[in-house]
Amino acid sequence: MTTAMKKVLTGNNSVSWGVKLSRVQVISAYPITPQTTIVELLSEMVANGELEAEFIKVESEHSAMSAVIGASAAGARAFTATSAQGLALMHEMLHWAAGARLPIVLANVNRAFGPPWSIWTEQTDSLAQRDTGWIQIYVESNQEALDNVILAYKIAEQVNLPVMIVLEAFVLSHTNEPVEIYPQEMVDEFLPPRENPLYVVEPGNNYAVGSLGGPDVYMEWRYKMQKAMERAVDVIKTEGENFGDHFGRKYGLYEGYMLDDADIVLVSAGAFTSTVKYTVKHYRKETGEKVGVLRLRAFRPFPHDALREALCCRKKVAVLDRNISFGHHGIFYSELKSALYRLKDDKRPPMFGYILGLGGRDITPKDIREIIEDVKTREEIEEDIIWKGVKP
C-alpha cells in the first residue's frame, strides 16, 4: 500500500480531497463565497479525470440540493456545498433530503447572514437548519475537514440520514495548513461502495420519492427519522473510533482539552476552539487554576448523555456561542442547558452564556482570558445574554 502524502491545503480544498477520496459519483454545485473553491477544485478533478463523477452545474442552491436528492435516491453517492444565503435557499430541500432518508453529504462554510451583507464567519446559518433532520458535525482544522467528509459518508449510509460538515469561513476555508492525504486504497477499505439504498432502481420496480403521506403514516415516518438520529449517536462514536484505528486519528461526539480535572469548563465548537485551547493552556500554567475546554463536534444528534457525564459536578460552565437565536440566547448554550436539566441540583453546574465573534469579528486570547475572569466572579445562572466585545 502506498503511504500517505502531505499537502498544504486550505480548508475548502481539504473538503474537496475528502470528496475525491470518498469516490463521490454525483456533485451538484452553485458558487457562493466563501464556499466556491470547494466545488471549483472538484470541477477540475472531474474535468481532468482524477475523479470519475458527474458534475452538474445548476442555476441556484435550491436546484443543487434537488439534483443531489435525485442522484442519491437513484443510489449514487452525492455531494454539494454552500454557505449562508445559499443554505437558506436550500432550506425546503434540506427537509426533502432528510425526509426521504438520503445519505447526502453537504459541506457548509459558515458565513453570517445579511443584512448587512457579510462574507465573514458566524455559525447561525448552519444552526438555523437544526430542525431539518440533518446530522451536523463541526470541525476545528483542515485535517478534520478532510477526515470528516469520509467519516460522514460512513455514518450517513448506515443510518440513512444526510450529514452536514461545518467549517468556518476564512478561518479554515481560505487558510492553509499541512494536511495528510490518505492512499485511495486505504480509504476504500474503510469506506466501501454504497450498499443497500432505500430506493432500488430496476426495471419494473417503480417508486416515488416524496409521494403523499396521509395522517395514517406520517407520524410513523417521523418516528423512524428520530430513531435513526438516536442511533446515529452510537454510530458517530463507533465509526470515529474505527477511523482512528484505521487512519490514526480518533473522533468522538466531543473533544476534551485539559478537561479531566477542570473546575471551570469553556464549551465551544468550530475553529475558534484552537484559540480557546491556547488561552486555557497558558492560563493554567500562569495561575494554576483548573480550567478546561469541551469542544462540541456533533450538534445533531445532540449527545445529551455524553455531555451530562462530561459536565456533571463541575463548578462552572461557560458556553461560547458564535451565533444567536434572536429572542432566546446563544444556540449551543440553550441546547446544553436543556441537556443538563436532568442532573440533580447538587450536580448541575451553574452555566453562563457568552456571545462573541459574530460576523467574523476576531476572537482573541485576550477575549477568552477576560471571559474566564468574568466567569470566576459569577455565582448564579445568568438568564441574560453576556455579550463579549459588542459596541452598544
- For 243-254, give the DSSP string: HHHHHS----SE
Rounded to whole angstroms, the Cα distance separating 181 from 166 reads 20
Hey, what domains does the chain have and what are their CATH numbers?
5-205+212-247 (3.40.50.970), 254-387 (3.40.50.920)
CB 121 within 8 A of CB 138: no
Quick one: pLDDT at residue 383?
A: 73
Q: What is the pLDDT along the chain (392 residues), one digit of tens a residue?
A: 578 899 999 999 999 999 999 999 999 999 999 999 999 999 999 999 999 999 999 999 999 999 999 999 999 999 999 999 999 999 999 999 999 999 999 999 999 999 999 999 999 999 999 999 999 999 999 999 999 999 999 999 999 999 999 999 999 999 999 999 999 999 999 999 998 666 655 566 656 666 788 999 999 999 999 999 999 999 999 999 999 999 999 999 999 999 999 999 999 999 999 999 999 999 999 999 999 999 999 999 999 999 999 999 999 999 999 999 999 999 999 999 999 999 999 999 999 999 999 999 999 999 999 999 999 999 877 678 999 989 87
What lies within 8 Å, CB to CB, of 6 at 6+ separation is 178, 179, 180, 181
Quick one: pLDDT at residue 13?
A: 98
Quick one: pLDDT at residue 208?
A: 63
Pairing of the two strands 298-300 and 316-321: unpaired
pTM for the structure as a whole: 0.96
Rounded to whole angstroms, the Cα distance separating 165 from 170 reads 16
User: DSSP characters for 31-74?
Assistant: --TTTHHHHHHHHHHHHTTSS--EEEE-SSHHHHHHHHHHHHHT
Quick one: pLDDT at residue 380?
A: 76
Neighbours of 174 (CB within 10 A): 15
Rounded to whole angstroms, the Cα distance separating 321 from 354 reads 6
Four-point Cα dihedral 212, 214, 220, 222, nearest 10: 60
Rounded to whole angstroms, the Cα distance separating 211 from 207 reads 9
**Element holding 308 (H helix, E strand):** helix 304-311
Phi, psi of 182 (to 5 degrees): -80, 155
Phi, psi of 150 (to 5 degrees): -60, -50
Q: Which three cell numbers stand for residue 321?
A: 456561542
55 Rama sector, left if φ>0, alpha if ψ -120 to 50, beta otherwise: beta
Quick one: pLDDT at residue 206?
A: 59
Q: Which three cell numbers stand for residue 214?
A: 396521509
Quick one: pLDDT at residue 99?
A: 95
